[in-house]
Amino acid sequence: MPGQQAQQTIHVGGEWRTAASGATRDILDPADAKPFAQVAEGGVLDTDAAVEAARSAFDHGAWPQTPVAERAALLRRVADLLVRDRERLGLLESRDAGKTLEEGRVDIDCVADAFRYFADLVVGVGGGRVVDAGSDDIHSVVVHEPVGVCAMITPWNYPLLQASWKVAPALAAGNTFVIKPSEITPLTTVALVGLLVEAGLPAGVANIVTGPGHSVGARLAEHPDVDLVSFTGGLASGTKVARAAAVTVKKVALELGGKNPNVVFADACATDEGFDTAVDQALNAAFIHSGQVCSAGSRLIVEESVRERFVAELARRARRIRLGRGTEDGVECGPLVSAEQREKTESYVASALAEGAVLRAGGARPEPSAERPATGYFYEPTVLDHCHREMRVVREEVFGPVLTVETFRTEDEAVALANDTEYGLAGAVWTADAGRARRVAGRLRHGTVWINDFHPYLPQAEWGGFGKSGVGRELGPAGLAEYRETKHVYQNLAPKPVRWFAG
């Protein structure tokens, strides 16, 4: 970690520092609830200093005017450094967020891919679009410029990945930024800023303040010198960010999660191989990273004729998932990120059972073991059958290892159930009928729709949702566009009087 002391995790204007107040926060390993690192607990004063540094670097520094090829080259150097530090960063992500070590390693690979993608994209989009004004005397072009100072507020479930989806396009476009990682999983974002410095990014372009949302995040959202705020997190917090940003009419990008349907038609299970694949992917959809995924397929919507066979096998396999410390070999699922998150999950399961759901698997804290310390935040993968739309667990985002089961009889009913949510981030349809696959995918009101798959994403393809899943897009060309302003430059090559006024 940069600096002589672990709590020097605030980076402002090219310098690592402690919090102005001197406050610190212990970072806990969710597998045993023991502290393993310490960070600065920044506040409003630290945030104001970081914004001032970013503002000065944008208004008076070289980065916004740095040639695109040079900005892209820096992004590629960062990608190379990520590859170099893959094991260190993967382990840090595993311990910080509780995910398995293999998930942590994959996350680092994806982060490197994002930096390379935006490096290639910004070079390829060209210098502007010529507009035909209908006269040889007029030169008219539409150009793109950086937005300015960007505030980035990132979540705890994919700390480094979500940071990269903001940092890479922002830098590619020529912006400066202040980033606030989640206060409970900040370590890899601190490390990323260190890599940016190592890669040669000028002082003041990248700033980080570690601290809580109610002070650091709130100040970033309202700060008059911030031009854009990009937030990934829960609906309630995202709404607060949008309200605060509205006062200064900032650009706002919000990714606010989802309640994602995984629709399984009977014909997808007509063969043993098809059945096995659909069940396996339903497990992956719901229980990767203990369900702490914004696109988790937490709503299984299965055709009634195969429901009992499908759910019975799903529950059998869910009970066999190996829970434990993410750094242990053979562990398939780690703990929840915090005691608060586990208590929230337990509350949702209790309410579902009170409303008539049938518990088919899980629903409890596992027995402690050598790889599952009693103090860790573990919770069994849980399957709840006989669920319906009126249940709280079906309507609201749990962000835990909880899968609900609903059934349908017709294609129209399946689509209606899948769209019956205030969110619209992602969804999937499983069927052997290519025509049905295209019809259903076309009717689903979700930002990403998978056909006979779940969870993959591509940095070239936009990510974001409909409805209360947020506004704006990350990744793809639209992900770069979020961090750019569009300007029309109209040049009259042969000016002459208009004579509109007789004077």
Q: Which residues contact 47 (CB under 8 A, 6 or more apart)?
A: 178, 180, 209, 211, 215, 216, 219, 220, 223
Nearest to 334 by CA among 34, 99, 101, 97: 99
Nearest to 279 by CA among 267, 293, 268: 268
Q: Which residues contact 327 (CB under 8 A, 6 or more apart)?
A: 31, 91, 94, 95, 100, 101
In the block, tokens 């570690």 appear at: 210
What one-letter code names the amino acid at 386? H
Q: Does the active-site annotation cover 255?
A: yes
Write down how long the chain is.
503
Q: Would you say 191 and 128 are in contact if contact means Cβ atoms under 8 Å apart?
A: no
Q: Would you say 37 and 1 are in contact if contact means Cβ atoms under 8 Å apart?
A: yes
Q: Would you say 178 and 50 are in contact if contact means Cβ atoms under 8 Å apart?
A: yes
Q: Would you say 454 and 281 are in contact if contact means Cβ atoms under 8 Å apart?
A: yes
Point out the catalytic residue in the list 41, 93, 255, 346: 255
The residues pairing with 382 across neighbouring beta strands, listed in sequence order, are 402
Q: What are phi and psi of 495, to 5 degrees?
A: -65, 150
Q: Does the active-site annotation cover 294?
A: yes
Q: Burial, 51: exposed, middle or buried (Cβ in 10 Å; 0-12, 13-18, 19+)?
A: buried
Structure token pair of residue 367: 């027995």
Nearest to 369 by CA among 356, 378, 381: 378
Point out the catalytic residue in the list 150, 294, 333, 387: 294
Catalytic residues: 255, 294
